[in-house]
Amino acid sequence: MPLLTESKVFIRPDGPDKVTGSGRYVADITLTGMLTAKFLYAGISHAEIIRLDVSAARRVPGVLAVLTHEDVPERRFGSIADRTLFAKDVVRFEGEVVAAVAAIDAEAAQKALDAVVVEYKPLQVVTDLEEAIADGAPLVHEGWADYEAANVERNGNVASFTSMTRGDVEKGMAQADHVVFGRYVADATHAAPIEPRGVLAQWEGDRVTIWSSTQVPFQARDGVCETLDLPTNRVRIIVPHMGGGFGGKCGFHYEAHVAALARVARRPVRLVFSRREEFIAPDRRREGMIIEITTGLKSDGTLTARRVRVLLDNGAYSADSSFFPHMAAMHTLGPYKIDNIHAEAFSIYTNHQPSGSVRAPTAPQTCWALESHTDELAAVVGMDPVAFRQQNCIDTGETGVAGQVYDEIGLQECIREAVSGIDYGQDLEDDEAIGVAVGWWPSFPGASGAFVKIDRDGKGVITTGAQECGTGSVMTLPILAAAELGMEPEDFELVYQDTSVAPYDEGATGSQTILNNGRATVEAARQIAVQLKNLAAKKLEASPDDIVLADGRAHVAGSPESAVSIVELAGVAAGGELLLGKGSGTPPEYPSAVGVACVGDQGLSGWAGPQFSCHAVKIRLDRETGVVRVLDVSAAHDSGVIINPIGASGQVEGGVMMGIGQALTEGTVYDEDGAQKNPAFLDYKLQTMADAPPIRVHFAEVHTPNMGPHGSKPIAEAPNVATAAAISNAITKLTGQPVPRLPMTAQRVWETMRGGGDG
């Protein structure tokens, strides 16, 4: 069954609007009588609210609504229900919303914010992860025990905890010829989409329509319903074009604030963040970490045991981070063959901005630590780092750290291809080096739905809840439907990103769109295929089992001259039977861990359809300044069968560039009071096109049954995992020792070369 090939050009349906500037984002939408929303943020990291008076703000001319916690239901939300829409009694990070206003323009809204009176009693700020879990540490949440949470181990400032044990670690360490310890510290980072988030709400009677730049419209709808006590059929979320998300626009939060303002003001209300707000306010930033790894190994390189301890900066509230400790533990153990493991991971409350899903959450930091550690292990036993990985990485039929036996996988092919695509092993300039790292990332099977119909003109419409923020669903779903129906992808229109029109989808999160909604679309298209074959069988006086759909026609197998067009069949159906299909793409079950004792694993102890990768990176180091330049990248991935080669390659290239930023320049800097010091692109340095090296991409196309359509697996997050680690290993070859902190800025590289650094 033909899918898209690299030789065929299929223009993204949303492409022309985006490149010509005619596409409309939330900030471009204007409604009659629309008001401007602004938020008053805490501006202090930890304090008791002594007094909050908004009476003067409500008297400001042009202000139609001012809200605080008193004006909305008191409902806690989050993966641990520890947060309310507005701060009440206590503020716990600088970007927490204390009040919200809606006014006729931004100037009036700002005057209202300036008129709000807030008096604080400062509380002790909790920012250091190890101090936060020490005996007697001040609590970020005094009432943590009353918060609702499912299958989460908690205590004091430990918001959630995971442990994984398999085999006997002490025995494994005793059997080792060498025991190696490493400690690594990673700074927090941001998703940093170019488009700041926006929300627009309009009420019509008791129903509200909300336009939002969210990656997860159904989650946003459910959050509005939960926090404002509204039934589902009274809330509609529409997502216009989105200027990137990278996980930072997952989850729910500000839709309810804006909806509440619009209800009180009885006018449409729009909120558009400034760049500074985009940095300090959202509860989705990549968590800072402290990672400690101890590994025992034989002199021949065989791994005998691994012990892991990870501390994650949860921030002040738990957005979707309750399962992150398990993810961090698995990534720090890695895709290696080790019979004896013990891993502990703690997500810790601090007075920093809350952590949440950012592309491959927990993976780039833990992979950086693990793969830096792996190069140290290879050096201890005198092995080449690539040969060490080839010996110790899992292969088809072998057992991984969670006791899971893996069906056919392509990790070993990824290692071979990544290395062969670069100058590994060849003579380099004195200031150049090549680093190699492997990574993995799970798939997340889940519920999703799709409708497909063929109109009387033979053209199709796919209606789906899938979200498009760079996932490629606008390309891949038509490719999948066309392959089932013998049509072209261009024959399909996509109706999506509207909760009142489309069936449920989890959204653009966890790289699950094609995995889950792709299965649903294929199922719906196959229902139409059956209808078309039945109609064609009547026309051609043949059995439906003998009908083939190809090239826009239905013909009898072996007799392509005996055919009827899909346009003609659609015309017949429109006069009677309609060509409609629906699919829910029943998700595969998660595999179980075997022989592993888990605590707080959130049901993810076994990984469904894991993706594997190996990145090899060539760098140049300026020894006088510590500046590192990435010269060349070879990235090999096992993401199953590739449905859309152009889109998949773009995901790898984008993930690599994001990884370069995380490796060298991107990191949040806090002052001693827990406030961000660099919430702007002048100080928070992203990579640009000028920094982009050549990136060669290879796919180990291993058919993966019972996962995505046609044996596919996800692709979007995996390319972000191994890049920083490969860069780190290249830097270490030139500095003689690892840079112990991420990002590996020029200053930190320079200090490492001179024996300093702040591990």
Closest CA to 388 of 427, 360, 418, 415: 415
pLDDT of amino acid 373: 98
Q: Is the pLDDT of residue 713 over 90?
A: yes
558 and 608 both lie in a single domain: no
256 and 306 both lie in a single domain: no
Structural domain contains residue 246:
yes
- Look-up: residue for tokens 């979200």? 467
DSSP string, 444-474: ----B-EEEEE-TTS-EEEEE----SSS-HH
pLDDT, tens digit, 9 for 90 and up, residues 48-74: 999 999 999 999 999 999 999 999 999
Residues 205, 206, 210: CA angle, nearest 5 degrees: 95
Structural domain contains residue 186:
no
Q: Last residue of some domain: 227, 248, 272?
A: 272
CATH number, domain with residue 386: 3.30.365.10
pLDDT of amino acid 507: 87
pLDDT, tens digit, 9 for 90 and up, residues 162-211: 999 999 999 999 999 999 999 999 999 999 999 999 999 999 999 999 99
Which residues, including other chains, have CB under 8 Å from residue 415's CB and lie 6 or more apart?
386, 389, 390, 393, 436, 438, 614, 636
C-alpha pair distances (Å), 556 with each of 544, 549, 563, 701: 9, 9, 7, 32
pLDDT, tens digit, 9 for 90 and up, residues 580-597: 999 997 888 888 778 898
| 433 — pLDDT class (breaks 50, 70, 90) | very high
Q: Are 14 and 59 in contact (CB under 8 A)?
A: no
413 and 295 both lie in a single domain: yes
pLDDT, tens digit, 9 for 90 and up, residues 209-262: 999 999 999 999 999 999 999 999 999 999 999 989 999 999 898 999 999 999
622 and 715 both lie in a single domain: yes
d(C-alpha 236, C-alpha 214), whole Å: 13
Q: Are 524 and 583 in contact (CB under 8 A)?
A: yes
Q: Is the peptide bond before 743 cis (omega within 30 degrees of 0)?
A: yes
pLDDT, tens digit, 9 for 90 and up, residues 509-557: 888 899 999 999 999 999 999 999 999 999 999 999 999 999 999 999 9
- The alpha carbon dihedral of 479, 483, 489, 495 has a sign of negative
Closest CA to 473 of 484, 462, 483, 460: 462
Q: Is the pLDDT of residue 271 over 90?
A: yes
Which residues, including other chains, have CB under 8 Å from residue 524's CB and lie 6 or more apart?
450, 451, 452, 462, 481, 581, 582, 583
Burial class (CB in 10 A: 0-12, 13-18, 19+), 43: middle
Query: In a 3-state reduction of DSSP, which class is residue 158?
Result: strand
CATH number, domain with residue 109: 3.90.1170.50
d(C-alpha 639, C-alpha 645), whole Å: 11
Encoding tokens for residue 724?
């920083």
d(C-alpha 729, C-alpha 377), whole Å: 12
**Phi, psi (5° rounding) for residue 82?**
-120, 10
d(C-alpha 317, C-alpha 344), whole Å: 21
Q: Is the pLDDT of residue 5 over 60?
A: no
pLDDT, tens digit, 9 for 90 and up, residues 131-154: 999 999 999 999 999 999 888 889
| 480 — pLDDT class (breaks 50, 70, 90) | very high
Structural domain contains residue 306:
yes
DSSP state of 343: E
How many C-beta atoms surround the C-beta of residue 117 within 10 A? Answer: 11
Structural domain contains residue 392:
yes
**Phi, psi (5° rounding) for residue 294?**
-125, 125
pLDDT, tens digit, 9 for 90 and up, residues 448-468: 999 999 999 999 999 998 888
511 and 604 both lie in a single domain: no
Distance between start and end Cα atoms, the chain: 54
Q: Are 731 and 619 in contact (CB under 8 A)?
A: yes
328 and 387 both lie in a single domain: yes
pLDDT, tens digit, 9 for 90 and up, residues 72-104: 999 999 989 999 999 999 999 999 999 999 999
pLDDT of amino acid 759: 45
610 and 730 both lie in a single domain: yes
Total domains, the chain = 3
482 and 553 both lie in a single domain: yes
- Look-up: residue for tokens 């992979």? 367
Structural domain contains residue 576:
yes
pLDDT of amino acid 358: 95
Structural domain contains residue 479:
yes
**What is the extent of the structural domain holding 511?**
446-583
661 and 714 both lie in a single domain: yes
553 and 659 both lie in a single domain: no
**Phi, psi (5° rounding) for residue 727?**
-65, -40
437 and 489 both lie in a single domain: no
707 and 690 both lie in a single domain: yes
The angle that helices 217-228 and 254-265 make with each other, rounded to 10 degrees, is 50
Structural domain contains residue 366:
yes
Structural domain contains residue 725:
yes
Encoding tokens for residue 630?
């990435």
* Average pLDDT over the chain, rounded to an integer: 94
pLDDT of amino acid 1: 41
pLDDT of amino acid 467: 84
Q: Are 540 and 558 in contact (CB under 8 A)?
A: no
| 279 — pLDDT class (breaks 50, 70, 90) | very high
pLDDT, tens digit, 9 for 90 and up, residues 297-346: 999 999 999 999 999 999 999 988 788 999 999 999 999 999 999 999 99
Buried b (16+ CB within 10 A) or exposed e, 480-507: bbbbbbbbebebbebebbbbeebbbbbb
The angle that helices 645-664 and 363-380 make with each other, rounded to 10 degrees, is 70
Element (H, E) at 108: helix 106-115
Q: Are 138 and 350 in contact (CB under 8 A)?
A: no
DSSP-derived pairing of the beta strands 741-742 and 178-186: parallel
pLDDT of amino acid 511: 87
| 2 — pLDDT class (breaks 50, 70, 90) | very low
pLDDT, tens digit, 9 for 90 and up, residues 614-661: 999 999 999 999 999 999 999 999 999 999 998 999 999 999 999 999
C-alpha pair distances (Å), 613 with each of 246, 649, 701: 19, 13, 12
Q: Last residue of some domain: 560, 583, 606?
A: 583
DSSP state of 516: I
Q: Is the pLDDT of residue 375 over 50?
A: yes
Element (H, E) at 286: strand 285-286
Q: Last residue of some domain: 272, 302, 327?
A: 272
d(C-alpha 376, C-alpha 357), whole Å: 30
